[in-house]
Structure 1
Amino acid sequence: MKFGWLEVALTAASVANANPLAYSPPHYPSPWMTGAGDWAEAYQRAVDFVSGLTLAEKVNLTTGAGWMQERCVGETGGIPRLGMWGMCMQDSPLGVRDSDYASAFSAGVNVAATWDKRLAYQRGQAMGEEHRDKGVDVQLGPVAGPLGTYPDGGRNWEGFSPDPVLTGVMMAETIKGIQDSGVIACAKHFIGNEAEHFRQAGEAQGYGFNISQSVSSNIDDKLMHELYLWPFVDAVRAGVGSVMCSYNQINNSYGCQNSHTLNKLLKGELGFQGFVMSDWGAHHSGVSAALAGLDMSMPGDVVLGSPYSYWGTNLTVSVLNGTVPEWRIDDMAVRIMSAYYKVGRDRVRTRPNFSSWTRDEYSYDHFMFKDGWEKVNERVDVQRDHAAGIRKIGADSTVLLKNNGALPLTHNERFIAVLGEDAGSNPHGANGCDDRGCDDGTLAMGWGSGTANFPYLVTPEQAIQAEALSGDRNTNVFAVTDNWALDKVAATAAQADVAIVFVNSDSGEGYINVDGNEGDRKNMTLWKNGEELIKTAAKSCNNTIVVIHSTGSVLVSDWYDNDNITAILWAGIPGQESGNSLVDVLYGRVNPGAKSPFTWGKTRKDYGAPLFAVPNNGADAPQDNFEDGLFIDYRRFDKDNTEPIYEFGYGLSYTTFAFSDLKVTPLSAPKYHPTTGKTKKAPELGEPGDASDNLYPDDIRVVRQYLYPYLNSTDLRASSGDPEYGMHSKKYLPKGSSDGSAQKLLPASGPSGGNPGLFEDLYQVTATITNTGSVAGDEVPQLYVSLGGKDDPVKVLRQFDRVTVAPGESVQWTTTLNRRDVSNWDVASQNWVVSNAQKKVYVGNSSRKLPLSADLPKAH
């Protein structure tokens, strides 16, 4: 096993000899932080702080202490001399994972379904407050990877939508909310992590696949910029403090040592000022990863629970022997501390007051090896009034797909049948399955590391019964929650004024297998006999309402148009207030305004290429060639002229709306100029000293397998534990990787998401929205653009909002289009260009209902 500087032979070099596999071109050196824009104050404070550190202390900031060595899922070492304890990294994108007295928020896909920027911010702010008060420094979320290349991808629900604009906006608002609460947000997984199959070779081997390396997501330059990188641009513009690199390879170079994606795209082109951390187990090399742009190793060990680290002591050795330049370790530390200062961690910070490894009040301080004993769970309640916001998001994300006058319910129903296991409780409790790794009872959260413990879970059965029996009502409510007791379902439905059928489809992270679904879904059908449950109820009751809890689209072709099915709602995975949120919509307290964040096709084939589930490269890295390119979700349906059942952006209301008076006004914007010039040279913040300056302190109590930055000998070879130490030299390092001189700026680069000219507004667009019904409601105006090129999608979403309109009222919606919105990525010039093709703008309330359109005047 090699942990130090031996693995510097480029992965890319071996790939270059392996044609015709996709190739990731090297890009060096790793750009150093500049403190541009609103990072200036935090940057200067970080420089001052890091300038006073020893080499070992800098390394301690970059390396996790090891799996289960501290209370959080990942913690760096601290700076004991300065009274600074290690930084705590904690899942998840929807709450404080593995803790207690914290909220279980609605998932990202539900946030996308609200199409409400304000709710996205408020949810981020509430999650940030809870993480902050639990002692978390970095919340591991939000998610833009997976984006949603495959509709059956396991972790799509952790993110937002397969549309990059909808995802990007929700990413940005979530990040602002988290960081305004004083916690560093972590945008993940960068990049191309679009399925759970083969994301980690070891995990795949455990499922019986004979592969030696993780899957390569093969993404060309244009596709990368116009689709997958897009939401990360918005994350960087929102000031995100950290980015997590992914398990997979990108063009046959691992995501956490891919110099093209990290050095060139993220830090060079987008001007990312924060730090890059590895996913847990995604760190594959020492020097190579450091030079390729990785700044923090999580959780620090080579394999979870092993005594070895690519960094820690080995990073100290690598700086001392010159294979990692001093300026690179300085830059790692400055980036980490800049993010720390930017969100105010120095002003409001508490030690972690919970343990990720046990719910016991007292337990081991270092859980991995049962070392120490103290109070580890302090039972700090951080929930505040967040339940009200979770309930609102759940209601505002419930999409009304069909309604033949059945909804809203009136409280005059005499007999309500509640049918399906998905209406009820998990018999083992809401948290009865580790990391929610089962599909028992109602589905309110997918499975995996993107979860949180429920403080409680209001089921639909509980909420409907409470609502129906509130006041002095004598409504009969009967539930059958066995999906295979179809005779009981039929008999109960036959007596009902309304039968409400609950069905679901689950998914999650690849380390958990639920009924043969290895993270990704095996298919897009309903789980647990769901189709037969629906059909049985509909045969017996001519007023059958179907409620779907799912992590994404499901196939509804066999039953959606049944006349006895009078309404269909998609409620997603709404979190702890699930039943209450649904009842608010069923009974009309909330007029549904949600829109589907994905397309509902008639067949799986309608979506394009199948999910990549069979190795195709022998025992080497499977090659996922992203065959559909730009054409995923509604873009695929448009390209193939395929009629969906329910299109992207679709959703009904209890009222109706009309659109009129589209106006497009060109704005005065300066001409776009490519970025020119050079950076300053890399700052050097002190000397690393020599081996004797970085030995283990005399007063330290060494914890078994804890990952330290110190040397146990002044002999670097002996300290490294590397049997081949000294057999290689700097000539094996990637060309330019140690060069700290001024570097040429990229044409599309800029200090916050790219060239500032990209974000200058070119057009103002206005439209009038009128509520033509009898009740107040929310409408979501959506603006799409046709870029006009022969290889472009028919149209792409570019702007949206959610507006409340009173009955009979008209409101004017105003938005703008910037240069990025109407540009294409030009591979030859490595820049964004506005093509000569005629462009057109469309406005309406779904991707297929766009009554307003106009040509865009030429832009420059």
Structure 2
Amino acid sequence: MKLIVKLGMLCTMAFMSVPVIGQQIPVAYLDVNRPVEERVESALSLMTLEEKVAMCHAQSKFSSKGVARLGIPEVWSTDGPHGIREETYWDEWGGAQWTNDSCTAFPALTCLAATFNTNLSLAYGESIGEEARYRNKTILLGPGVNMYRTPLNGRNFEYMGEDPYLASRMVVPYIHGVQSTGVAACVKHFALNNQEVWRGHINVNVSDRALHEIYLPAFKAAVQEGEVWSVMGAYNQFRGEQCCHSDLLLNKILKGEWGFDGLVISDWGGVHNTDQAVNNGLDIEMGTYTDGLTTSGKFPYSSYFLADPFRKGLEEGIYDMEVLDDKVRRILRVIFRTTMSANRPFGKFVSPEHSEVARKVAQEGIVLLKNKNQFFPIPVDKKIKIAVIGENASRSLVEGGGSSSLKAAYEISPLEGLKEKYGEEYITYSIGYASGPSLYGREEPSKYDADSLSKAAVDVAKGADIVLFIGGLNKNHYQDCEGGDRKSMDLPFGQDKLIQDIMKVNKNTAVILLSGNAVAMPWVDQVPAIMQGWYLGSEAGSALADVVSGDVNPSGKLPFSFPKKLEDNSAHFYGELSYPGDSIDQYYKEDILVGYRWFDTKKIKPLYAFGFGLSYTSFDYGDLSIDKNQASDKETVKVMFTLTNSGKTDGAEVPQLYVNKAKSAVSRAEKELKVFDKVYLKAGESKKVELELLISSLAYYDEKASDWVVEPGVYSILLGSSSSDIKSKVNLKVE
């Protein structure tokens, strides 16, 4: 007993010592009660040059070395932002065929953004963090916050929409949730990775103002408010520098202006040069092409840019030792915050609680776009014949898509969810169309005859009371998939014609789209109802059936605009040099006018506006008022109005506060989102809503001063249910 007590006391001493090669050395870094910075310096002082360099590059597909001699663990990362990727072999992308690595598939981040619910974002982060912790991961490679610039971007489904304020507000609680579980979040892809075509080398040119006002705010919020522990560089170039070793992005902005103290990890294969990787802010190099199995292979781990070339440069005095120490400090900081932290919580995997969060996010993210004559909801007690048509009703939508592909423990398809809700005897299914298998990097045609599938679906539609067409995109190459952008906005696999053929035999047809992107809708005026459903994860079918039946009132809002045609989108309006570029350079000619900023300013009517979403009930907005008519840039203004649920169904509304300045020294968008809230109201209930507007948030980025400026003058504060539906406004004078 005495020995146990003494050992316990020893563990809490300010310094401990252990024999290493016959001598006693201090091991303060093992004392979990000491400040992280003290532990970092203690560990750093004991490491050899070789041990330090070894921490700065991969040792396998998803890990980098620790220091086994000192008991410092390896760093293990995992994809992805909406589910924990299956285990892979040491140096292969293929699954290792484990039997205990099937995860909960959470809805993709477009769906999370569509909830406009920061509390749900926190719950999402906590849940996915617990799953990463259960699998003993150090870093979760997500969330993604690149802006929705074009509806053709293959990875838009992984991001949080077109508005920097929305993405900023949603990313912060996600990060807090993940990191509360003892796992580091890794916000990505920093920065301007807004397309997949030529992503590895395209050189993006954008103004400083657009960079700071549109493309950096969500990253800045992740760092300064979310206190994220790691950041992933992007594949593309920015002003002639690869983003994974960009002095401007990583040294000057991220680590300099923003004070980021975590580690920067490269995207896999995103490093191209030792000198730049050493000096321009990168900390861990991952995925540079290698066989990884030997030290004499085509490009082994020891030949990475931050491996032997880095070490030799240090030994020869080409590189500064302090640069190496800074990288290792950052890596150790993350290790001591995660794997070697005090009281690191245990994880959970595929728990009922995680399923509930996944279902709730899916329910609140579904957006009702059209509902003529109250087509929805379809009550369960109607006992009518429902024809479900479309491949997405039965196809897995958690597989494919590139690095975000998941091996889910279960996935309730829309067809299964509808059968469970309405009863199998009332549901008839026809696939209608078929795509090929989900293969990364290439397209494979379907093995089925398209005409036969279409004819069978039309026949099924004839005999039904109601048709639910469940289509959209999938995670095949050239759809919503990493490594390639879409070729057009049209629905693939003949869906547009199939919808029109079904409408000829059954006018009572609704379209439910499952996708991460906007699509063209040539049939929009013909169908009575449209839902945007996203990739909804493991609970997809249950959540969708909840909304279709009216058990859940839809409250999702679009996190990006749906253009009527591709040319209406600002990135495409200016021609190929704006998107996708000339294969070498690309110019963001629309500047700050991204998404609804473009549509509203240029008076181009979108098909569906940013922030739009219908409900099964109705909401009345009272007049807007503010607590002061004049304020300085250091103040906060309270904005007040009454919101009433004037319908007969409980529901939730997302009031959105936009700001306009008509007379300005610089060009401005017609309006910019500055505040939103999600308000839940019982049928007939009224509530006084108070929103706080920071006057400092009205600033624009002054390129001459390289700083933010709040311009004095009169601003219009606009209250709306979407960017195109403004209910009332009030003026505010800013001094």
TM-score bin (small chain): 0.7 to 0.9
Offset, 1:346: 2.9
Give deviations 1:780-801, integer Å, cap 9, x for gaps.
0111111443511100111111
Matching residue of 2:723 = 847
Instruction: List per-residue Cα deviations over 1:573-632 (Å, max 9, x = no partner).
Output: 111111111000011111000011111221111112329997999x99611101111112
> Which digits, 9 at most, give the CA deviation of each residue in 1:647-699, with x for residues without a partner?
11000101000111322235999x87xxxxxxxxxxxxxxxxxxxxxxxxxxx
CA distance in 2, matches of 1:503, 1:92: 25
- State which drifts further: 603-612 or 133-142: 603-612
Distance 2:481 2:407 in 1: 24
Distance 2:361 2:349 in 1: 22
Query: Secondary structure at 2:221's aligned position in 1?
Result: helix
CA RMSD of aligned residues (A): 2.8
Cα 1:460–1:616 change in 2 (3 A) is closer
Q: 8 Å contact 1:180–1:343 — kept in the other structure?
A: no
Task: Specify the SS of the correspondent of 1:493.
Answer: helix
TM-fit CA distance, 1:49: 2.5
Q: 1:555 aligns with which of 520, 528, 535?
A: 520
**Structure 1 counterpart of 2:69, one-letter code:** R
Contact 1:301 1:310 in 2 (8 A): no
Checking the alignment, whether the CA contact within 8 Å between 2:629 and 2:732 is kept in structure 1 is: no
Report deviation, 1:837: 4.2
- Which deviates more from structure 2 when the two are superposed, residues 316-325 or residues 844-853? 316-325
Q: Is the 8 A contact 1:765 1:815 kept in 2?
A: yes
Q: Indicate the larger mover: 148-157 or 134-143.
A: 148-157
Q: CA deviation at 1:344?
A: 6.2
- What SS does structure 2 have at the residue aligned with 1:176? helix
1:576 partner SS: helix
Is 2:672 the partner of 1:796? yes
Q: CA deviation at 1:302?
A: 6.8
**Equivalent residue for 2:510, pick from 533, 539, 545:** 545
Q: Aligned letter for 1:124?
A: G
Q: Normalising by structure 1, report the TM-score.
A: 0.73
**How far apart, in 1, do the equivalents of 2:630 and 2:43 lie?**
44
8 A Cα contact 2:469 2:511, kept in partner: yes
SS in 1 for 2:688: strand
In the alignment, does 2:103 pair up with 1:102?
Answer: yes
Whether 2:193 is the aligned partner of 1:193: answer: yes
- After superposition, give the CA deviation of every residue in 1:480-526 in whole Å (9 maximum; x if it has no partner): 11324333222222221111111112357xxx566999621101111
Identity %: 31
Change (3 A) 1:170 1:465: same
- Residue 220 of structure 1 pairs with residue 207 of structure 2: yes
> Partner of 1:845: helix, strand, or coil?
strand
Letter in 2 for 1:86: E
Report how far residue 477 of structure 1 moved. 1.6
Letter in 2 for 1:224: L
Q: Match for residue 628 of structure 1? A: 590
- Selected match of 1:603 from 565, 569, 582: 565
Is 1:464 aligned to residue 428 of structure 2? no
Counterpart of 2:441 in structure 1 is: none
Corresponding position: 1:51 with 2:45: yes
| Equivalent residue number for residue 654 of structure 2 | 780
Instruction: Say whether the 8 Å CA contact 2:213–2:701 is kept in structure 1.
Output: yes
Question: What is the one-letter code of the residue matched to 1:501?
Answer: F
Cα distance between partner residues in 1 of 2:426 and 2:627: 58
Matched to 1:60, the amino acid is A
Of 526, 533, 536 in structure 1, the residue corresponding to residue 501 of structure 2 is: 536
Aligned residue number for residue 135 of structure 1: 136
Indicate if the aligned counterparts of 1:295 and 1:332 stay in contact, CA closer than 8 A: yes
CA change 1:803–1:303 in 2 (3 A) is: farther
- Distance in 2, matches of 1:638 and 1:823, equals 20
Hey, what's the Cα distance between the residues in 1 that align with 2:559 and 2:275? Answer: 41
Contact 2:57 / 2:306 at 8 angstroms: preserved in 1?
yes
Q: Is it true that 1:566 corresponds to 2:442 in the alignment?
A: no
Cα deviation digits, residues 401-437 of structure 1 (max 9, x gap)? 1112111111213211111112123xxxx4xxxxxxx
Amino acid at match of 2:417: A
Indicate whether 1:271 and 2:259 are aligned: yes
**For residues 371-770 of structure 1, what are the structure 2 equivalents within 5 Å?**
381-404=349-372, 405-411=374-380, 412-425=382-395, 430=396, 443-444=397-398, 447-469=401-423, 475-483=425-433, 484=450, 485-506=453-474, 512=477, 519-556=484-521, 558-562=522-526, 565-610=527-572, 622-666=584-628, 761-770=635-644
- Structure 2 CA distance for aligned equivalents of residues 667 and 321 of structure 1: 65
Report the Cα distance in structure 1 between the residues aligned to 2:678 and 2:485, rounded to whole angstroms: 32
How far apart are residue 127 of structure 1 and its match? 0.6
Alpha-carbon contact 1:419-1:479 (below 8 Å) kept: yes
Give the drift of 1:196. Answer: 0.6
Please give the alpha-carbon distance, in whole angstroms, between the structure 1 residues aligned to 2:250 and 2:48.
26
Shift of 1:777: 0.2
CA distance in 1, matches of 2:693, 2:38: 35
Q: Secondary structure at the match of 1:839?
A: strand
List per-residue Cα deviations over 1:312-367 (Å, max 9, x = no partner). Answer: 2332222232222222211111122223333564346799x9xxxxxxxxxxxxxx
Residue segments in structure 1 that go unaligned for 5+ positions in a row: 1-39, 201-213, 354-379, 431-442, 673-759
TM-score, normalized by length of structure 2? 0.85
CA distance in 1 between counterparts of 2:409 and 2:574 reads 36
Displacement of 1:47 in angstroms is 2.5
Count of paired positions: 659
- Equivalent position of 1:178 in the other structure: 178
2:699 aligned to which of 823, 838, 843: 823
